[in-house]
Homo-oligomer: A and B are copies of this chain.
């Protein structure tokens, strides 16, 4: 693919159908190819890679097409605006784009739950603002658990927070290994989205282990 290939070959290389590629081009999720005539353009390795990233976020990360479009718009504009490695600002921007925020509950109930989240942040001495979008997202989860009669879920969340401190150290180490701004941007996206999926799978395995140990399952049996 040194000198560029047509859209049919790009489709073959990436495993993404031509109409889907055209849709991604229209939506700005894939940069245009190099135009060689009014209705023909050539694509290169960066296009193959971008298509793989899009499919990874949708198929493995479970993101909607709209969420992927927003994340990539953030990544592409940050890549231009952020020649310095402002990792802290970058993390925040990408995180917001990939956080799914459920519709909040009743306003007063939601506000009360948000205060509980802010208390939890203070207990752990974390430096995140009360206006971080994850505060509202977590509060909605708490309200939902409470409406189902699971107020004790808040205690579990408190204990999860400790485990997430370990995870966050891994995540920041991961991003810090990147060499260029583009690589760093992609590391945040991959680390965040694939990291969520990996963690959910690992949590199931760790639960199976813990359950097997507590309730006396024997070793290579599966749960």
A108 within 8 A of B: no
Q: Is the CB of B205 within 8 A of A121?
A: yes
| Contact present for B95 and A194 (CB under 8 Å) | no
B194-A153 in contact (CB<8A): yes
Known: A129-B220, A223-B89. Contact between A172 and B214, CB under 8 A? yes
- Selecting from A3-11, A19-27, A29-37, A140-148, the interface stretch reads A140-148
B residues in contact with A62, CB < 8 Å: 62, 100
A residues 130-153 touching B (CB-CB < 8 Å): 130-135, 137-138, 140-142, 144-145, 147-150, 152-153
Question: Is A17 located at the chain interface by the 8 A CB criterion?
Answer: no
Decide: A88 and B217 in contact? CB cutoff 8 A: yes
From B187, B202, B211, contact of A88 by CB (8 A): B211
Chain B residues in 8 Å Cβ range of A209: 121, 124, 126-128, 165, 168
Q: Which of B170, B196, B202, B217 contacts A134 (CB 8 A)?
A: B202
A159–B202 alpha-carbon span in the complex (Å) = 11
Interface membership of A186, Cβ < 8 A: yes
Residues of chain B contacted by A91 (CB below 8 angstroms): 207-208, 211, 223
- Verify if A18 is at the interface (C-beta below 8 Å from B): no
CA distance in complex: A177, B151 (Å): 12
Chain B residues whose C-beta falls within 8 Å of the C-beta of A194 in the assembled complex: 141, 144-145, 150, 153
Chain B residue with the shortest CB-CB distance to A147: B52
Partner of A190, one of B130, B148, B191: B148
**Nearest CB of B to A114, in Å:** 12
Sample (26) of A-B pairs whose CB atoms are under 8 Å apart: A52-B147, A56-B144, A86-B215, A88-B214, A88-B215, A88-B217, A102-B197, A127-B218, A128-B205, A132-B204, A133-B204, A134-B204, A138-B205, A141-B201, A148-B186, A156-B170, A156-B195, A161-B206, A164-B202, A164-B206, A165-B206, A167-B203, A168-B203, A171-B203, A196-B200, A199-B203
Ordered nearest first, which 4 A-B pairs have the shortest CB separation? A129-B222, A92-B223, A168-B206, A126-B209
